[in-house]
Amino acid sequence: MKKFFLLLLLFIATASNAQFGALSPAAEISIITIGPGSELYDKFGHSAFRIKDSLSGVDVAFNYGVYDFNTPNFYTKFAQGKLLYELRVEYYQSFYQRYVEENRWIKEQVLNLTKSEKQAISDFLWNNALPENKKYKYDFFFDNCATKIRDVLQEVLGNKLEYQDDYITEELSFRDLIQQNLQANTWGSLGIDVALGAVIDLKAKPIEYQFLPNYIYEGSSNAIIHRNNDAEPLVKSAKTVFKNTPTPPQNNFLLSPLFVLGVLGSIIILITFRDYKKNVRSRFLDLIIFFCTGLIGVFLLFLWFATDHTATANNYNLLWAFPISIVTAVVIAQKEISIIVKRYVFLLLLLLVLLTVHWISGVQVFAIGLLPLLISLAIRYLYLFKALKIKDN
């Protein structure tokens, strides 16, 4: 019955040229901010609009963070950055209850809007929720559930709305902003640092901080509306509508990237030291190193050139995960190799030096958990360059 009522509201909006109808004087429009969840995709929080009109009985949430698992080729489209998200209208109580059950805090900011401004935002949202308008191509930094809140307000309120920047006290890059929401030395943090390129190491403009729900909250708290030569705060009142029970992070250092890759790096160094002492070469180890780093490089290259993801471009993790290594994996496992392969090993050493320069100069920040692996790769490549035997012609 509830779903039928929402469909009826959308039908009314369609039949009346996307005008939902007059809000009563009791109507309020709010920004709802949700705290982080336990899963990686929930770590950054969530944002939505709420329209509550007690006289007409309307109390709904406008949620821009919805996608359809039944989309044809769902995972392919997700990997390619072509998955369409959509705006979904749902009853606020069910929206609220979902996040309460996930133990995520919920804050509400009631907006300081005139009757005509409320009506304009309501009309915009209901129009945006129509089947022909509700879908959009998601972008983590520039078009997501949080930026939609900012963009809708800017679209409707225009130049009257001003986001003030004085609450931002330090210049942060997009990567810095992401890592604020992640625990250091976790696989989620490492995966993001490896998959995303140097483009996210650019300093974000204050308005661009609002790709994160927490900065939508802070930005709105410090925004003003210009009316009749006067400036009024955008937010009329704010409150926490659900206070979660904090749960301590479940960290196991023995399963962390720094420990696991530290062990892996130590194994590579120990085998290399043994090879040096015995004047031999563990060719199977070289096969594994070249195949695995090459395979990772192919994946990163795919993210850069074969997808619509804007954040995966200019990824200098390719300097240690060089795609061509997957082709040379079988060759490096042979007892004797050509001079070309030996020169390729020297190239890999140069690429690691270049990676170090990029890291020190700030062109791209690399995951600290990778450090043991990178050191072990440098040691192994140095030994290989010395130990490889060239085929006699």
393 pLDDT higher than 60: no
15 pLDDT higher than 60: no
2 pLDDT higher than 50: no
5 pLDDT higher than 60: no
Sheet containing strand 84-91, edge to edge, reads 135-137, 84-91, 58-67, 46-53, 28-34, 106-111, 235-242
Mean pLDDT of 173-201: 93
**Which segment of 72-81, 208-217, 225-234, 300-309 scores lowest on mean pLDDT?**
72-81
DSSP codes, 269-329: HHHHHHHHHHT---HHHHHHHHHHHHHHHHHHHHHHHSS--STTSS-GGGGTS-TTHHHHH
Work out the mean pLDDT of the chain and round it to a whole number.
Answer: 91
**Phi/psi at 301 (nearest 5 deg)?**
-65, -40
pLDDT in tens, 110-126: 999 999 999 999 999 99
If we measure between CA atoms, which residue out of 283, 268, 263 comes closest to residue 380? 268
Mean pLDDT of 10-31: 69
Which runs of E-coded beta strand occur in 134-275? 135-137, 161-163, 223-227, 230-233, 235-242
Mean pLDDT of 240-250: 89
pLDDT in tens, 319-364: 999 999 999 999 999 988 899 999 999 999 999 999 999 999 999 9
Residue 12 pLDDT level (bands cut at 50, 70, 90): very low
pLDDT for residue 251? 78
Distance CA 234, CA 219 (A): 10
318 pLDDT higher than 60: yes
67 pLDDT higher than 90: no
Percent of the chain topping pLDDT 70: 94
- pTM comes to 0.88
- By CB atoms closer than 10 A (0-12, 13-18, 19+), residue 350 is exposed
74 pLDDT higher than 80: no
